[in-house]
Structure 1
Amino acid sequence: MKTNRPKINVPWEPLDIIVDLISITLFILMLVYTIMYYGDLSGSIPTHFNVLGEADSFNDKIYIWLLPIIGTVTFLLLFFLNTKPHIHNHMVNITKENALKNYSFSTRVLRFTNLFIAIIFAIIHYVMVEKGRGNATNIGGWFMPIVVGISIGLPLFILVYNKKINKQ
C-alpha cells in the first residue's frame, strides 16, 4: 500500500508504556494460569456463554488454550501495526503539520483496543478455567452490557475527539 503520508516516529509516552505492559501482563497471566490449572480441568470446559453469562456450550479441555493464543497473536499483530501509523485508516488527510497528533491518537486507540481485548479475554478465560475446575463461577449479567457499551461508546468518543484535534 503506497501513500504520500509522512512517515514519522511517534514518541512513546508513559501512558503508552503502561497500557502495553498491562496488556502483555494479562496475556502472560492467562498462559501461566492455564499451565498451572490445566491438569485440574475436567474433560469438558465451557466454551460459550449466553447473555446472562451462563455457560451454554462445552468442549474438550484442549480448547482452553484458544483465548490465550488468539489474544497473544492479536496483541502482537496490533503491536506491529502500531509501528506503522502512516498506513492506519485516518479520518482526515494526513499532512506534515497534522501527522504527529493524528498518528499519536491512532496508536493510542490501538493500544487501548489491545487492552480492551486483553481484559475481555482474561475475564472469560478465568471463568472458563474456574468452571472447568468445577468451581461455581459465572461471568454474570453485568459483563455483556459493559462490553457492548464500551464497544459503542469508544468509537463515538474516537469520532468526536478526532474532530476536535483536527479542528485547527
Structure 2
Amino acid sequence: MKTNRPKIKVPLQPLDIVLDLISATLILITIIYTAMNYGDLAETIPTHFNAAGEADGYGSKSMIWMLPVIGVFTFLLLFFLNKYPHIHNYMVNITEENALKNYRFSTRIIRFTNLFVAILFLVIQYMMIEEGKGNNVSFGSWFTYSIIGASLILPIFILIYQQKINKS
C-alpha cells in the first residue's frame, strides 16, 4: 500500500510509556502465573466459558499456554505496528498539518487496545487456571456484558474524538 502520508516519528508522551509498560507487565504476569500454577492443574482444564462465565469446553492442560502465547504475539504485533502510524487507517486525509495529532491518537488507540487485550487475557487465564485447579471462580454474566459494552462504546468515542481533533 503506497500513500503520500508524511512519515513522522510520533514522540512518546508519559501516558504512552505507562500504557506500554502496564500492558507488557500484565502479559508477563500472565506467563508467570501460568508457570507457577501449571503443576497444580488437572489433566483436563476448562478452555471455554459461556456468557454466564461457566466453563463449557474442556481440553488438555497444555492448552493453558495458548493465551500467553497469543498475548505475547498480539502485544508485539501491536507494539511494532505503532512504529508505522502512516500505514494505519484514517477517516480523514492526512497532511503535514494534521499528521502528528492523528498519528498520536491512532497510536494511543492501539496502546489502549493492547492494554485491553492484556487485561482480558489475564482475567480469562486466571479463570481457566483456578477452574483447572478445582476452584469455582465464575465472574457471572456481567463480565461478558462489560466486554461487549466496552467493545461497542469505545469505537463510538473514537469516532467522535477523531472528528473533534480534525475540526480545525
TM-score by length of 2: 0.98
Structure 1 residue aligned with 2:34: 34
- The CA deviation at 1:86 is 0.2
SS, match of residue 56 in structure 1: strand
- Does the Cα contact within 8 Å between 1:79 and 1:111 map onto a contact in 2? yes
- Does the Cα contact within 8 Å between 1:124 and 1:139 map onto a contact in 2? no
Query: Is 1:134 aligned to residue 141 of structure 2?
Result: no
Aligned mates of 1:22, 1:94 — CA distance in 2? 30
Structure 1 residue aligned with 2:162: 162
- The CA deviation at 1:74 is 0.5
Amino acid at match of 1:152: L
Aligned mates of 1:110, 1:64 — CA distance in 2? 26
Identity %: 62
Aligned mates of 1:155, 1:136 — CA distance in 2? 34
**How is 1:144-163 mapped onto 2 (pairs within 5 angstroms)?**
144-163=144-163
* Runs (5+) with no aligned partner, structure 1: none
Amino acid at match of 1:117: V
- The CA deviation at 1:139 is 2.5
- Does the Cα contact within 8 Å between 1:45 and 1:60 map onto a contact in 2? yes
Query: Is 1:7 aligned to residue 10 of structure 2?
Result: no
Aligned mates of 1:139, 1:124 — CA distance in 2? 10
Amino acid at match of 1:62: S
Structure 2 residue aligned with 1:76: 76
Aligned mates of 1:65, 1:78 — CA distance in 2? 20
Aligned mates of 2:75, 2:103 — CA distance in 1? 19
* Runs (5+) with no aligned partner, structure 2: none
Moved over 6 A (4+): none
Aligned mates of 2:27, 2:37 — CA distance in 1? 16
Query: Is 1:120 aligned to residue 107 of structure 2?
Result: no
Amino acid at match of 1:115: L
TM-score by length of 1: 0.98
Aligned mates of 2:28, 2:62 — CA distance in 1? 18
Query: Is 1:62 aligned to residue 62 of structure 2?
Result: yes
SS, match of residue 138 in structure 1: coil
Aligned mates of 2:41, 2:12 — CA distance in 1? 41
Alpha-carbon RMSD: 0.6
